[in-house]
Chain A
Amino acid sequence: MADARRTQLSIRGVTKRFVMGDDEIEALAPVEVSIGSGEFVCLIGASGCGKSTLLRIIAGFEEPTSGSVTSEGKPITGPGSDRGMVFQDYALFPWMTVRQNIGFGPRQRQLPRKEIDEIADEFVRLVGLERFADRYPSQLSGGMKQRVAIARVLANNANTLLMDEPFGALDALTREQLQGELLQIWKRTKVTIIFVTHSVEEAVMMADRVLVMSAGPGRIVNDIKIDLPRPRDVSSPEFNAIRRDVARRLTSHLAPSRALVQAEP
């Protein structure tokens, strides 16, 4: 099924240079990658290698210095409701209840009140927060907040989820639970997901495809297909073989840059 996919995102020669006064940071070297519709892609790499930058360019929050990104063939010029970002720190609207947060997108489209409520309720159910629908974000646990954030972009008809270490701030138990829920949601909604993580295990657990990034400047150095059947068993030898492989490739790119840093002074 993987090869019959339409291309959802096409990233062509994207570079990014940040200029701060006299300082210039080459955050992304030309990045070249295509992502199929409905694919679950994990982005992994050392801290500072440009994962967030790439995600923010796809979201339309940042402009690439050169190159272009297209979504379903249309060039991306700014934030759009087709691509929804899920932030590590949730970025929920604290003055809105769970239901209002989830209904935010539909409200911006000026749908009739009744329809907004229906959509909001549907996605409240999807993430299992019926009992908390009228609570404010400050009254929720981290895991619940992240569920709201996911529901909020899905309720807005996003076909691409951009997730920047979404479960990074959660405890192991909640994290595992949310991984399972996200996979369920992904299966049901068939959205495309780009998921940034620092955990090799998480990447191998979730992804169809793991993109390994390397720093200085950021680029994609490995594109690894994960063909394990789902649900995946973390204790199986196949899983562990792939995990070791990904970890090895990740660290093999880390080592030289670390040596470089040490040699600099």
Chain B
Amino acid sequence: MSEHVTALPEATRDAAPEAPAVIAAARRRRDTLDKIKAIVLGAGFPLLFVVFWHFAVAYTKTKLIPSPHDVGVMMWDFTFGGIYDDAFSATILTHIWMSVTRVYGGFFLAAVIGIPLGLMIGRMKMLRQLLDPTISLLRPIPVTAWLPLSMIFFGLGPKAAVFLVFLGAFYPILLNTIFGVRSVDARLFEAASMLGCTGSAMFREVVFPAALPSIFNGLRVAHGFAWILIVVGEMTGVPTGLGSVIMDGRTLSRTDLVITGMIVIGVMGFITDRIIVMISNRVLSWSPQHHG
């Protein structure tokens, strides 16, 4: 409320002093500097770590952990081939693609079910009473505990992986959606109903957009889980995918392959998370609180 009290009347605001262009330019310069600083600091730490890794391997002369250079060579071969020319050479896109289809298969399935269900549970007391205890009961069960059952339901293969991703992504989406609906200012519903908005239009026009910031938080968390769970899912006997690459690397005692797989997953997760943040910043540009 204090924000409103201090709000200036329009006239005072419009009478901005001259030279706003100069101020804007100065601000832009500061913002650019800030961005560069963030990149240098953000990239500096992993670089420092790689240097440390290199010297640690060289110093201990260990054969168990490959040096950063070995991993780099493996990464090159995994991406372009021409070095080892084995089963993994130049297969990166296939594995990424298979993992991506599973991650987003499970993720979108969770969103398509979780968001509408969450909107309804948030709005309808009966549904809440019906489902709340069940949800609270199922939620603490770790997704990995579903592994044996999912293999019985779906057999060994990609379906089980998608199911695990779905389970992991489902709860954050559902719970954040419910929370979003529950925390909408009741006055917005009143305002909408006095303006002639009823029934399903209320969901479309008010409930959903009002809960959107919270829904996006849920999607982001769920998306992170989805990438984590794909590895677990793909360790259960699927021939392709980044998780299976890591599993194969372990079986073959090729630690360079394992680390390569880990890095690819990390990078994929990072890039796709940035994309989600970009989308949410765009969709939620109206919301002053929301800038991830």
Residues of A whose CB lies within 8 Å of any CB of B are 59-61, 78-81, 83-85, 87, 89, 91-96, 104-105, 108-109, 136-138, 141-145, 152-153, 156, 169-171, 173-174, 177
What sequence of 0s and 1s flags, for each residue 196-208 of chain B, a beta carbon within 8 Å of any chain A beta carbon? 1100010001100
Q: Are B8 and A141 in contact (CB under 8 A)?
A: yes
- Which B residues touch A79, using CB under 8 A? 190, 193-194
Q: Tell me the interface secondary structure of chain B in the complex.
A: helix
- B194 partner, pick from A80, A89, A137, beta carbons under 8 A: A80
- Which A residues touch B193, using CB under 8 A? 78-79
Nearest CB in chain B: distance from A156 CB, A? 5
12 contacts between A and B (CB under 8 A): A59-B194, A80-B196, A84-B195, A93-B210, A94-B286, A141-B7, A141-B8, A141-B13, A142-B5, A156-B195, A169-B4, A174-B7
- Which B residues touch A145, using CB under 8 A? 4
- Which B residues touch A92, using CB under 8 A? 191
- A85 partner, pick from B7, B190, B212, beta carbons under 8 A: B190
Q: Are A91 and B5 in contact (CB under 8 A)?
A: no
- Which A residues touch B185, using CB under 8 A? 91
Contact of A104 with B197 at beta-carbon distance under 8 Å, contacts A93-B209, A141-B9 already known = yes
Q: Are A83 and B9 in contact (CB under 8 A)?
A: no
Q: Are A144 and B10 in contact (CB under 8 A)?
A: yes
**Complexed CA–CA distance, A162 and B85 (Å):** 78
- A136 partner, pick from B5, B8, B9, B286, beta carbons under 8 A: B286
Contact of A108 with B201 at beta-carbon distance under 8 Å, contacts A80-B194, A141-B10, A177-B9 already known = yes
**Complexed CA–CA distance, A109 and B194 (Å):** 12
- B7 partner, pick from A60, A109, A142, beta carbons under 8 A: A142
**Complexed CA–CA distance, A166 and B272 (Å):** 45
**Complexed CA–CA distance, A81 and B190 (Å):** 11
**Complexed CA–CA distance, A169 and B2 (Å):** 9
Q: Are A95 and B287 in contact (CB under 8 A)?
A: yes
- Which B residues touch A153, using CB under 8 A? 194-195
B271 at the interface (CB under 8 A from A): no
- Which A residues touch B13, using CB under 8 A? 141
- Which B residues touch A108, using CB under 8 A? 195-197, 201, 205
- What count of chain B residues pass the 8 Å CB interface test? 30
Q: Are A81 and B1 in contact (CB under 8 A)?
A: no
**Complexed CA–CA distance, A81 and B205 (Å):** 16
- Which B residues touch A143, using CB under 8 A? 7, 9-10
Interface centre among A80, A95, A104, A177 (most CB of B within 10 A): A95
- Which A residues touch B190, using CB under 8 A? 59, 61, 79, 85, 91
- Which A residues touch B212, using CB under 8 A? 95
Q: Are B7 and A93 in contact (CB under 8 A)?
A: no
Contact of A84 with B194 at beta-carbon distance under 8 Å, contacts A143-B9, A143-B10 already known = yes
A-B interface, 6 closest residue pairs, ranked by CB to CB distance from nearest: A108-B196, A141-B7, A91-B187, A142-B4, A79-B194, A142-B7
Nearest CB in chain B: distance from A209 CB, A? 24
**Complexed CA–CA distance, A24 and B284 (Å):** 42
**Complexed CA–CA distance, A95 and B207 (Å):** 11
Q: Are B195 and A89 in contact (CB under 8 A)?
A: no
Q: In this complex, what residue of A is CB-closest to B287?
A: A94
Q: In this complex, what residue of A is CB-closest to B284?
A: A95
B83 at the interface (CB under 8 A from A): no
Nearest CB in chain B: distance from A16 CB, A? 17
**Complexed CA–CA distance, A51 and B201 (Å):** 31
Q: Are B286 and A152 in contact (CB under 8 A)?
A: no
- A138 partner, pick from B9, B209, B210, B286, beta carbons under 8 A: B286
B20 at the interface (CB under 8 A from A): no
Q: Are A83 and B5 in contact (CB under 8 A)?
A: no
Q: Are B191 and A87 in contact (CB under 8 A)?
A: yes
B113 at the interface (CB under 8 A from A): no
- Which A residues touch B285, using CB under 8 A? 136
**Complexed CA–CA distance, A209 and B269 (Å):** 65
Supply 19 further A-B pairs (C-beta < 8 A) apart from A91-B187, A91-B191. A61-B190, A79-B193, A81-B195, A83-B194, A84-B195, A85-B194, A93-B206, A93-B209, A108-B197, A136-B286, A141-B9, A143-B9, A152-B191, A156-B195, A169-B4, A169-B5, A171-B5, A173-B9, A174-B9
B188 at the interface (CB under 8 A from A): yes
Nearest CB in chain B: distance from A164 CB, A? 10
Interface centre among B9, B188, B201 (most CB of A within 10 A): B9
- Which A residues touch B210, using CB under 8 A? 93-95
**Complexed CA–CA distance, A143 and B12 (Å):** 12
